[in-house]
Chain A
């Protein structure tokens, strides 16, 4: 963004103001994440930077809140983490299976009522979560699935499929259909064509949709609040209760772990996106 030499002074000044504004906005976006990190290593119980921390005194830092998170006697984080992972994994598998198959159908140019069906399939993403929560709760209560893992997994499949449908249809929009016809003309049956030709090509889209579904489920709290019993507690529910009652440093330790996890997911998603763009570039 270097300015040309002939730029007049007041545009030059304006340009630096613009860059300062941008820097401030990036700071606003990122700063909250960085506050959590050091405070989770606080040796004291308060959620402010102690004088020792400001002096970078090593005694002011400790891992006690991480210890508390893992070994704490009355801490429910272990059960919550286990439940969260189980629910998120099954919800992801369900969303990816249903979503990918549906996206294949939706991308076909023969699909009737495409717009209407797409709108219905994407609606769980647009409808406010609180309404989805109420509606899904009514269904699960009638079906006898409230306060069960199955119920929560089904609810998260509902919320996760729109992401898979969107990412996979986007990937398929750049898909060269002559390769599947070529496979068919060479004698391959449809199932084989799908597993050997289509799937490898759309895999980046499928995986990034899956990541969205995973994060949606792993981070979802509104619907779970309606559905979960004591046995089905998840990390977001524990954080929600913790934040409502008392903001303890243990929550910050958990939050730090979640930030690390989301960084990993972000890196994976970015790598996949670039790979998918490269692949599509070759196709064109």
Chain B
């Protein structure tokens, strides 16, 4: 019975197992080499830059490098009372160096992020410091402006000592670290970001609900109609899907404006009087209506592809077993469509949560979302590290939903049209 232990050999004398493994490995390498160019491209141009965003959002070396002597002398300062003379002296020399390099403007911008009011006093210090005499810098600096004699401003400078910071993330949630190192909320009247986050979630949630309510009946109709009719109706879903986002937003701007067609119609049927036209644009209503219409196809298509696979005989069986059409629908048909509902809702929610263009155009001040805030900091205030921090907070949320989507539906099951 020794033949059982004998290895099977291929024609060239290598054991089959080894030869097979070799071939498998070769195939693996081949497959990987095909994917490699795109993978490398995406990693270099996309994944690394997102990592770069992370670095930028916590990076705080700039101030640390601008005031090296100051921070060294501040190590022993407890922050209770005004710092001693040596800190002022160190700050003076650091500041003179910055003026030579013409970087004091950058310092004032950076310190102003931490505490408002630095901009003007740094400008003033720059002017006055030219005529400073040697020695007793504490008195001279404090004489420039009363804020220089305020311990809070010195604490604010000390706060920027570490090379890394999570301040930007706190700021994104309307919190900050006070001079004692406690994390506290900003005063109620200055909270902007929390409102934006909540509004983003609210709009994304309701847009998803509206999309679902509208998409379910028409997806059902498309899936149950005979092919020749459903193909025609499918165009009504696909044409908006393929049409430029800006074109669709533009048409909503025309429709929703105060002298627009929707208002004309309301006046015609007597819903509102002519001088009382409803404001539907530049507020939340505008965002809701336009975003629902724009994202609707993303809900219809996954629902349709799931409903298409449900055999109509199941509903007939349900009815013939004594269920009313409603019970048959609720107990048989609806549960079978849940994968489609999950896919559609998550897709629409993910897209809505990061929406930028439509809210910016029709949302006005009360309809803007977190994306608009990110764009604002990228383009207007140029606080890129704060924009990065908020972007990453948004990204974390989206990735959590993406992960859920993958668990429920599987990434490979995404279908387009």
Contacts and interface: CB of A to CB of B under 8 A. Distances in A.
Interface of A: 1, 11, 18-19, 21-22, 25-26, 28-33, 35-36, 39, 46-49, 98-99, 101-102, 104-106, 108, 110-112, 115, 117-124, 126-139, 154-155, 157-158, 161, 163, 165-167, 169-170, 212, 215, 218-219, 221-222, 225-226, 236, 239-240, 243-244, 247, 251-252, 255, 258-259, 262-263, 265-266, 269-270, 273
B32 to A, nearest CB: 7
Contact of A98 (B24, B41, B235): B41
A83 B404 CA distance: 39
A126 B41 contact: no
A239 B247 CA distance: 8
Given A25-B214, A47-B254, A221 B411 contact: no
Contact of A166 (B30, B46, B414): B414
Nearest to B257: A47
A136 B414 contact: no
26 contacts: A18-B217, A25-B217, A28-B296, A32-B240, A32-B251, A35-B255, A47-B254, A105-B35, A121-B38, A121-B42, A122-B414, A126-B350, A131-B374, A134-B374, A134-B384, A135-B49, A138-B52, A166-B414, A219-B245, A225-B375, A240-B246, A240-B361, A247-B254, A255-B244, A266-B235, A266-B238
A128 B361 CA distance: 18
Contact of A26 (B218, B253, B361): B218
Greatest chain B CB density within 10 A among A26, A46, A161 is at A26
B255 A131 contact: no
A131 B394 contact: yes
A134 B388 contact: yes
B17 to A, nearest CB: 17
The 5 closest A-B pairs by CB, nearest first: A128-B354, A105-B34, A32-B251, A105-B35, A108-B31
B56 to A, nearest CB: 7
B239 interface: yes
Contacts of A49: 261
Interface of B: 24, 27-28, 30-39, 41-43, 45-50, 52-53, 56, 214-215, 217-218, 221, 224-225, 233, 235-240, 242-255, 257, 259-261, 264, 293, 296-297, 325, 350, 353-357, 360-361, 371, 374-375, 378, 384, 387-388, 391-392, 394-395, 398, 402, 406, 411-412, 414-417
A99 B35 CA distance: 9
B58 to A, nearest CB: 15
Given A29-B293, A123-B46, A131-B50, A11 B252 contact: no
Contacts of B374: 130-131, 134
A108 B28 CA distance: 8
Given A36-B247, A111-B28, A134 B42 contact: no
Contact of B47 (A115, A118, A120, A128): A120
A118 B411 contact: yes
Contact of B251 (A35, A130, A133): A35
A29 B240 contact: yes
B35 A36 contact: no
A219 B402 CA distance: 24
A32 B293 contact: yes
B52 A139 contact: yes
B354 A118 contact: no
Contacts of A134: 53, 374, 378, 384, 387-388, 391
Contacts of B41: 98, 157-158
Nearest to B260: A48
Contact of A221 (B39, B217, B225, B245): B245
Nearest to B39: A117
Given A120-B47, A124-B46, A247-B253, 14 more contacts: A25-B217, A98-B37, A120-B42, A130-B375, A131-B50, A131-B394, A135-B391, A138-B49, A154-B45, A212-B416, A222-B356, A236-B244, A247-B250, A259-B243
Nearest to A270: B238
Contacts of B253: 243, 247
Contacts of A115: 411-412
A27 B169 CA distance: 44
A210 B297 CA distance: 20
A255 B252 CA distance: 13
Contacts of A226: 378
Contact of B48 (A121, A139, A166, A212): A139
A270 B394 CA distance: 35
B289 to A, nearest CB: 9
A170 B411 CA distance: 12
B236 A130 contact: no
Nearest to A95: B38
